[in-house]
Structure 1
Amino acid sequence: MSAFQSPVITGEDKKTFRVDSSDPFAVQKLKWALQQFLADLYKPQYHQLIVLCIGTDRSTGDSLGPLIGTKVSRLQPKRAVIYGTLEEPVHAVNLEETVAEIERLYHYPLIIAVDACLGRAESVGAIDIGLGPMQPGAGVNKTLPPVGQLHINGIVNVGGFLEYFVLQNTRLSVVIRIAEAIARGLYLGLQSLPQTADTSKSLPLQRV
């Protein structure tokens, strides 16, 4: 087995990066990509990092976000507040309320939005990380406000037809594999982030 080498971020204007969750180096690649993106984004004016995991545990495919939120919370990262867990999910009904709460509680938060999405058959199992906001609900024809300065999407199933039912009938093994990779990559990437902002005045570092 060859050793891991830092990949090159590709995509339009080098703003996106994709890794297969079954890649044995998926966690290291996600950590590396997160570090590269945050190096550009994370400025002193951001007083708190927020990981906003979107989804619901009432749908297998859409449970990716809450699974990741729960896993990362249990790892207790030093650099981030976690929103969206299996016990307290953030979904279409309460997303706007949650974002408003974040903006009220934290001065200049930097939000990493995490969610499941649908894609092409050959892309199932892939993880996309990129600059800019996420458009949650777009895959199931819901209109929700864009959120985040950085987004992470896990492609859990094939899109294009009856998306709601496709999410309901997604294989749990795929969701868990993606969740494990994203959660560990997120945790390691956040742990290695320099303390460039004064987070000492922020609220407690976990919301579970």
Structure 2
Amino acid sequence: MRKTKRKQDEIEKIYIPSQLPSCVSESESGDEYDPLAPFVARMFNDIIEKGDREIVVVCFGTNAISGDSLGPSVGTLLTKKYDVSAFVYGTDEAQINGKNMREWLAFIKSVHKNALFVAVDASLGNKDKVGQIVFRDDGVCPSGVTGKSERFGDIGVLGIVARNQGDPLMQLLTVSPVYVDNLANEIAVMLKAALA
């Protein structure tokens, strides 16, 4: 886990609009361009740069709040549908949320010493960022809405599920579960490609 603090503008971010077609023709030669390629390439390079470290994906959230169910949905897809070659924690059946996060993280860190942690969480954002996926090279701040947690992870993947205005809990409660499931599937597909 990183302990350094950096200014917001120094953090590497890649925004990927949601609901993109899987392939978009880009060149006259007929080659296809995958709009997810920059994300997958960047994550793959980060994983390669970390050396032979074990990869652990930690998905934060709870199914009790539709907007916050993104993490567990991603974890479930990674374990049940895509069967990735990494340890995955935080699924629909075993959620990691504000109530049990300290215990889970202590356990995960004790079992996976010196691992490369990829953290996945839902987030609120500006109106123009809703529906996008954000890649961070400094992890995520789970339970950030409540201000009760510290940053976790070497690589962070955030799905912007709603606008950051008014009461954050109300914003998360009003997000469509179908919308969250679609965004979760996009993230799971990206992670599967990056971890392959």
Question: How does the TM-score come out when normalised to structure 2?
Answer: 0.83
Give the match's secondary structure for 1:88: coil
Please say if residues 59 and 74 of structure 2, whose CA atoms lie closer than 8 Å, have aligned partners that are also in contact.
Answer: yes
The equivalent residue for 1:20 is 17
Is 1:35 the equivalent of 2:32?
no
Is 1:51 the equivalent of 2:57?
yes
Aligned residue runs from structure 1 range 1-20, under 5 A: 12=9, 15-20=12-17
The structure with higher relative contact order (CA 8 Å, sep 6+) is 1
- Identical aligned residues as a percent: 28
Please say if residues 40 and 193 of structure 2, whose CA atoms lie closer than 8 Å, have aligned partners that are also in contact.
Answer: no
Aligned residue runs from structure 1 range 8-157, under 5 A: 12=9, 15-25=12-22, 28-30=34-36, 32-42=38-48, 43-44=50-51, 46=53, 48-74=54-80, 75-78=82-85, 80-138=86-144, 140-157=145-162
Q: Which sections of structure 1, spanning at least 5 residues, go unmatched?
A: 1-10, 192-208
Please say if residues 44 and 195 of structure 2, whose CA atoms lie closer than 8 Å, have aligned partners that are also in contact.
Answer: no
- In the superposition, relative to structure 1, how do residues 13 and 163 fare at CA in structure 2: closer, same or farther (>3 Å)? closer
Residues 37-63 of structure 1: CA deviation (Å, up to 9, x unaligned): 3423543352x1011000001010000
Question: How does the TM-score come out when normalised to structure 1?
Answer: 0.78
Q: Which amino acid aligns with 1:101?
A: F
Q: Which sections of structure 2, spanning at least 5 residues, go unmatched?
A: 1-7, 24-33
Whole-angstrom distance in 1 between the partners of 2:153 and 2:166: 27
Alignment: residue pair count? 177
Whole-angstrom distance in 2 between the partners of 1:22 and 1:134: 23
Q: CA RMSD in A?
A: 2.0
Whole-angstrom distance in 2 between the partners of 1:120 and 1:173: 21
Q: Which amino acid aligns with 2:20?
A: D
Q: Which amino acid aligns with 1:146?
A: R
